[in-house]
C-alpha cells in the first residue's frame, strides 16, 4: 500500500515525522483528507486538529495546531505549524 511520508515541523524544531496512510488536516475551506497519490497541494491551515493515520493501526495520532500550512507532493507531506500540541482538540477550540 502506498504511504505518505509526513514531517510536522514547528518554528523551533521537528515535532513529528513518520509514515502515514492518510492525513486529515483543517484546511482553509474545511477539512482536507489526503491519501497517497493525491495531487500536489499547498494549503493554509486553520486552527484545528490534524489526524495522522499510520499504515496499520486504526487510531490516528492527533495534533492540535494554531494555524500554519501544509504542502504535499510526490507522497511527501510537510506540515508547517505555528504552535502545536499533541493530543485531540478539545471542543472549545474545535471548528
By the rule CB under 8 A, 85 interacts with other proteins: no
By the rule CB under 8 A, 32 interacts with other proteins: yes
By the rule CB under 8 A, 61 interacts with other proteins: no
By the rule CB under 8 A, 82 interacts with other proteins: yes
State which of residues 5, 16, 24, 43 lies at the interface with other proteins (CB under 8 A): 43
Cα–Cα dist 60/21, whole Å: 10
Query: Look-up: residue for cell 497517497?
Result: 36
Q: Are 51 and 66 in contact (CB under 8 A)?
A: no
By the rule CB under 8 A, 95 interacts with other proteins: no
The distance from CA 85 to its chain's CA centroid, rounded to whole angstroms, is: 12
Between the alpha carbon of residue 41 and those of residues 2, 35, 68, 89, the distances in Å are: 18, 12, 14, 24
Task: List interacting residues with other proteins (CB under 8 A).
Answer: 7, 9-14, 27-29, 32, 39-44, 67-69, 71, 73-74, 78, 80, 82
Amino acid at each position: 500500500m502506498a504511504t505518505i511520508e509526513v514531517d510536522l515541523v514547528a518554528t523551533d524544531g521537528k515535532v513529528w515525522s513518520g509514515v502515514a496512510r492518510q492525513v486529515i488536516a483543517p484546511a482553509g475551506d474545511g477539512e482536507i483528507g489526503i491519501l497517497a497519490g493525491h495531487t500536489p497541494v499547498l494549503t493554509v491551515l486553520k486552527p484545528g486538529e490534524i489526524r495522522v493515520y499510520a499504515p496499520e493501526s486504526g487510531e490516528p495520532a492527533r495534533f492540535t495546531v494554531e494555524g500554519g500550512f501544509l504542502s504535499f507532493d510526490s507522497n511527501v507531506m510537510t506540515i508547517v505549524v505555528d504552535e502545536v500540541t499533541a493530543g485531540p482538540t478539545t471542543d472549545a477550540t474545535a471548528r
